[in-house]
């Protein structure tokens, strides 16, 4: 979506390909989502607290 907006504004940006590690990470994330394996509320709160949010 961001690339489309930039194109519309005349600022065409090249596509940055994913590394094999990034592609594998996204594939695992999609697989976990399809299995409905999501972080618990406590896990999310823990990450937020770690970053002062």
pLDDT digits (tens, 9 = 90+) for 35-52: 999 999 999 999 999 999
Q: What is the pTM of this model?
A: 0.57
The secondary structure of residue 14, as a DSSP letter, is -
Q: What is the pLDDT of residue 15?
A: 81
Q: How far is it, in rounded angstroms, from Cα 13 to Cα 18?
A: 15
Mean pLDDT value of segment 11-24 = 89
> Of all helices (H) and strands (E), which one includes residue 3?
helix 2-8
Phi, psi of 32 (to 5 degrees): -65, -40
pLDDT, averaged across the chain: 92
Domain ranges in the chain are: 16-53
- What is the CA 47 to chain-centroid distance, rounded? 16
pLDDT score of 28 more than 80: yes
Q: How far apart are the first and last CA of the chain?
A: 27
Mean pLDDT value of segment 13-28? 92
8 Å CB contact between 18 and 26: yes
């Amino acid at each position: 979506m961001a690339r489309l907006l930039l194109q519309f504004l005349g600022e065409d940006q090249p596509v940055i390909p994913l590394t094999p590690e990034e592609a594998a990470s996204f594939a695992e994330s999609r697989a976990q989502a399809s299995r409905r394996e999501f972080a618990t509320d406590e896990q999310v709160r823990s990450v937020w607290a770690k970053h002062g949010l």
